[in-house]
């Protein structure tokens, strides 16, 4: 797979005019962006920017109130099955079943996607091999370190071979080493296997210049595009400065976000 | 081959894929059950305490006359056994509903709900899984009770199975419905007080309803309208290879009602899930 967009290609994820509110609190306001297949896109925003709400909508945990979401052309609201089978998800909270073994967690996920046990075992074995945890397959998930759990969750999310992987703050609570490992693993998936990754974070230092970035602040998209262009458009020196500048545009008041 | 369609999976799911999915959900529930020995022991000890202690003490206080399905005077232990079987399923249903709340907070529920199969199917599979676990518990109880001279006809062990499946589904569906409205994990005490105890005591589990009628006509009607009473009676008759048609209809109707309610509650478009709050489980 090539890096970049061809004109006739369906975007991996297209979000159009998406708004969502919890009661009177507006979490997302007219959010629109599209990301191309086989790219690494960072969804950058402070806590409370609306990243988790966006994830809950993309994964159909919540129904879309307004606007639309398409995964490789399949609209999440109208054809949820087709959309979800093209999507791999790594949630912010830990979602491994701690009482089950690593392999059992993998097989359970495969079953949920209708993958038979022989094929599931083969894929899970290969996936664990790739992340260097094949020897831990029989261990209980609770015996893994935080970083290892994350890597298993990523491997698990790819078992049904989705071409879009969304990760909600996957490095929260991990040490620097584990963070780097996981970032490297996901970037490798993008570069070598043509997976498209949407990586939500509030950490600017997880971004490299070849990434695409969507800057989300208080439920609105403030900028979207390749990192160099976002930096240039904001007339700043680097993405950190660009983010600081962008995030303060709307009201200039101190952030009420936690 | 065009660029995208090369790797695109075929639309829809095969019957085999549906079966694999349900098998996976039941398998996980069974594994969890095996890993939680305390839960199994607790599920067995509870009815046995009632049987060994409560029933022994009450035996002399409460004489039971001959009422269907019994052909002879029966010991009180024999009389309350169907009630205790239903109690096992009641606790199991509430516990699995609670584990759903727990799952939801811990994120396991999300793993389930992002499966591409239809959500109603995922919930129904979950319900079958919980019912299967309750069957294990009930038969383990019956095996122990057999040594306590509770010996229904052998055929009864077989004929009670469909009744147990139905009552298990009904109580599981009720639990699922409750799980969609419970906010926090700590609320098991609330479930005990407001669901389990009233359902259990205002039923025919511990005393025949004609005795209830003698003491309080109002309570009698409450019991009659309690779906748990009908679960108990369905099991009681089935254990003696007989069918109690009214109870069968009530249990079937309530199962449908609770299940539809739970599916609506977990539907992302209409459910309470979305209204309740924000993602991240209160984080």
For residue B26, is it within any domain? no
How far is the alpha carbon of A49 from chain B, nearest alpha carbon, in Å? Answer: 12
Asked whether the beta carbons of B26 and B122 are under 8 A apart, the reply is: no
Asked whether the beta carbons of B253 and B189 are under 8 A apart, the reply is: no
CATH architecture of A13-95+162-247: 3-Layer(aba) Sandwich (3.40)
Q: Which of B16, B24, B279 sits opposite A52 (nearest CB)?
A: B279
Q: Where are the domains of chain A?
A: 13-95+162-247, 97-143
Integer CA distances (angstroms), A186 to A34, A94, A128, A211, B75, in order: 20, 18, 15, 12, 67
A253/B contact by beta carbon, under 8 A = no
Integer CA distances (angstroms), A5 to A37, A196, B34, in order: 7, 12, 50
For residue B205, is it within any domain? yes
Query: For residues A1 and B68, what is the distance between their CA atoms, to the nearest angstrom?
Result: 73
pLDDT tens-digit readout, A197-226: 999 999 999 999 999 999 999 999 999 999
The strand pair at A220-226 and A74-75 is best described as unpaired
- B32 CB neighbours in chain A (<8 A) are 97, 99-100
- A116 CB neighbours in chain B (<8 A) are 16, 20
- B8 CB neighbours in chain A (<8 A) are 72, 86
Structural domains in chain B (count):
1
Q: Centre a 10 Å sphere on the Cβ of residue B102 and count the other Cβ atoms it contains.
A: 14
Judged by CB atoms closer than 8 Å, whether chains meet at B21 and A114 is answered as yes
Which structural domain range is residue B211 located in? 37-271
pLDDT tens-digit readout, A126-147: 999 999 999 999 999 999 999 9
Question: Residue ranges of the alpha helices (H) in B114-191?
Answer: 119-146, 154-181, 188-191
Judged by CB atoms closer than 8 Å, whether chains meet at A95 and B274 is answered as no
For residue B280, is it within any domain? no
Six-digit token string for B82: 């169907």
Preceding peptide of B164 cis, ω within 30°:
no
Q: pLDDT at position B212, please?
A: 85
For residue B15, is it within any domain? no
pLDDT tens-digit readout, A2-41: 444 455 578 999 999 999 988 888 999 999 999 999 999 9
Length of chain B: 283
What average pLDDT does range A66-75 have in this prediction? Answer: 94
Q: pLDDT at position B71, please?
A: 79
Q: Phi/psi at B147 (nearest 5 deg)?
A: -75, -10
Higher pLDDT pick, B111 / A154: A154
ipTM: 0.84
Q: Is the pLDDT of residue A187 over 90?
A: yes
Q: Is pTM beyond 0.90 here? A: no
Dihedral of the alpha carbons of A91, B122, B105, A66, in degrees to the nearest 10: 60
The radius of gyration of chain B's CA atoms, rounded to the nearest angstrom, is 21
pLDDT in tens, chain B (283 residues): 344 444 455 678 899 999 999 999 999 988 888 887 887 888 889 999 988 888 888 877 666 677 878 877 788 888 899 999 999 999 998 888 777 776 666 667 788 888 999 988 998 999 999 999 999 999 999 999 999 888 889 999 999 999 999 999 999 999 888 877 766 545 667 777 788 889 999 999 888 888 888 888 999 999 999 999 999 999 999 999 999 999 999 999 999 999 998 888 877 665 555 555 544 433 3
For residue B25, is it within any domain? no
Q: pLDDT at position B189, please?
A: 73
For residue B20, is it within any domain? no
Q: pLDDT at position A209, please?
A: 92
B112/A contact by beta carbon, under 8 A = yes
Spatial neighbors of A19 by CB under 8 A, at least 6 apart, are A26, A28, A29, A30, A31, A65, A66, A67
- B118 CB neighbours in chain A (<8 A) are 81
Q: Phi/psi at A10 (nearest 5 deg)?
A: -70, 140
Q: Is the pLDDT of residue A249 over 70?
A: no
């Amino acid at each position: 797979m090539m890096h970049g967009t061809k004109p006739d290609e369906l975007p991996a994820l297209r979000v159009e005019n998406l708004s969502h509110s919890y009661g009177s609190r507006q979490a997302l306001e007219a959010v629109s962006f599209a990301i191309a297949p086989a790219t690494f896109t960072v969804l950058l925003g402070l806590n409370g920017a609306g990243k988790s709400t966006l994830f809950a909508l993309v994964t159909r945990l919540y129904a879309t109130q307004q606007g639309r979401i398409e995964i490789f052309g399949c609209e999440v609201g109208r054809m949820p099955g087709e959309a979800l089978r093209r999507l791999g998800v790594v949630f912010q909270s830990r979602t491994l079943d701690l009482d089950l073994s690593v392999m059992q967690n993998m097989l359970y996920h495969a079953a949920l996607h209708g993958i038979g046990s022989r094929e599931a075992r083969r894929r899970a074995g290969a996936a664990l091999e790739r992340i260097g945890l094949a020897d831990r397959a029989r261990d209980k998930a609770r015996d893994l370190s935080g970083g290892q759990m994350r890597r298993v969750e990523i491997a698990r999310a790819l078992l049904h071979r989705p071409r879009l992987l969304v990760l909600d703050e996957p490095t929260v609570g991990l040490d620097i080493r584990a963070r780097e490992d996981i970032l490297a693993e996901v970037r490798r998936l993008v570069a070598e296997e043509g997976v498209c990754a949407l990586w939500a974070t509030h950490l600017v230092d997880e971004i490299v210049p070849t990434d695409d970035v969507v800057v989300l602040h208080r439920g609105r998209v403030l900028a979207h595009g390749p990192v160099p262009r976002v930096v240039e458009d904001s007339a700043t020196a680097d993405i950190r400065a660009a983010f600081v500048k962008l995030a303060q545009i709307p009201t200039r008041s101190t952030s009420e976000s936690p | 081959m065009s660029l995208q369609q090369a790797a695109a999976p075929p639309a829809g799911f095969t019957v085999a894929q549906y079966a694999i999915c349900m098998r996976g959900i039941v398998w996980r529930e069974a594994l969890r059950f095996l890993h939680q020995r305390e839960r199994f022991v607790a599920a067995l000890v509870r009815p046995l305490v009632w049987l060994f202690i409560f029933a022994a003490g009450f035996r002399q206080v409460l004489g039971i006359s001959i009422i269907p399905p019994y052909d002879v005077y029966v010991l009180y232990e024999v009389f309350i056994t169907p009630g205790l079987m239903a109690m096992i399923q009641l606790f199991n249903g509430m516990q699995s509903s609670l584990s759903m709340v727990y799952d939801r907070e811990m994120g396991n529920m999300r793993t389930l709900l992002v499966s591409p199969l239809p959500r109603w199917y995922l919930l129904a599979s979950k319900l079958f899984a919980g019912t299967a676990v309750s069957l294990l518990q009930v038969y383990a109880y019956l095996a122990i009770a057999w040594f306590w001279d509770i010996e229904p006809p052998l055929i009864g062990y077989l004929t009670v199975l469909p009744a147990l499946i139905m009552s298990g589904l009904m109580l599981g569906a009720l639990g699922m419905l409750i799980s969609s409205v419970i906010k926090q994990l700590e609320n098991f005490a609330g479930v005990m007080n407001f669901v389990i105890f009233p359902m259990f005591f205002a039923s025919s589990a511990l005393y025949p309803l004609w005795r209830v009628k003698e003491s309080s006509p109002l309570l009698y009607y409450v019991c009659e309208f309690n779906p748990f009473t009908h679960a108990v009676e369905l099991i009681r008759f089935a254990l003696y290879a007989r069918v109690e048609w009214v109870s069968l209809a009530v249990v079937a109707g309530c199962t449908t009602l609770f299940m539809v309610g739970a599916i609506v509650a977990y539907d992302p478009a209409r459910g309470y899930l979305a209204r309740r709050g924000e993602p991240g489980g209160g984080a």
